[in-house]
């Protein structure tokens, strides 16, 4: 369940011609991403320290250690950056890192298993849990609100959900 590293950002390409990258921070305070360095690639094969150089449209411009050319910055496009969990702040009881929710079992309020969390999406209006169950033709999308998901028990590895009733048309 708990991973040693949490995704805190992603590189969306080069910024300029001197090796800066366009950086999307997934932190509540975008600039706080520097507090969690060194940052690692998903497989852990590379690590970077970073310095934010400016705020740009859609994110931040930053310098990464070992990246000094536009070509090297472009080669990192699409790379997610991970921080050691131990460097991240503790969360209040009603907040969770997305990585902690992936693969949790989801049950309805009657105890019937609905599936497992496959992904979490945020399209601007709040988080959505994608719940997948083997044999089900479609995935279940649940708004991640207190009303629909009243209980998240990380210790037991499960979520209790009260999905909205489907209307019969």
The distance from CA 79 to its chain's CA centroid, rounded to whole angstroms, is: 13
Residue 85, classed as helix, strand or coil, is helix
Burial of 74 (0-12, 13-18, 19+ CB in 10 A): middle
Q: In the 8-state DSSP scheme, what is residue 71?
A: H
Q: Which residues contact 47 (CB under 8 A, 6 or more apart)?
A: 38, 39, 40, 41
In this predicted model, what pLDDT tens digit does every residue of 121-142 receive, in sequence order? 877 778 899 999 888 888 899 9
All residue ranges of the chain with pLDDT < 50 are: 1-2, 167, 169
| Ordered domains of the chain (ranges, CATH) | 5-87 (2.40.30.60), 100-161 (2.30.30.240)
What's the confidence (pLDDT) of residue 100? Answer: 87
Which of these, 136, 97, 130, lies nearest to 8 by C-alpha position?
A: 97
What's the confidence (pLDDT) of residue 166? Answer: 60
Residues in the chain: 169
């Amino acid at each position: 369940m708990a991973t040693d590293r949490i995704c805190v950002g992603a590189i969306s390409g080069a910024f300029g011609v001197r090796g800066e990258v366009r950086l999307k921070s997934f932190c509540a305070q975008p600039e706080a991403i520097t507090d969690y360095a060194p940052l690692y690639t998903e497989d852990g094969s590379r690590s970077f320290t970073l310095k934010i150089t400016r705020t740009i449209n859609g994110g931040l411009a930053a310098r990464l250690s070992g990246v000094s050319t536009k070509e090297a910055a472009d080669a990192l496009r699409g790379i997610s950056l991970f921080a050691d969990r131990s460097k991240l702040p503790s969360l209040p009881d009603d907040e969770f890192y997305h990585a902690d929710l992936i693969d949790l079992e989801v049950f309805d309020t009657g105890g019937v298993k609905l599936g497992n969390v496959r992904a979490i999406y945020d399209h601007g209006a709040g988080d959505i849990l994608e719940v997948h169950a083997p044999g089900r033709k479609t995935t279940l999308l649940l708004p991640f609100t207190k009303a629909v998901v009243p209980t998240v028990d990380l210790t037991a590895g499960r979520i209790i959900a009260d999905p909205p009733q489907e209307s019969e048309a």
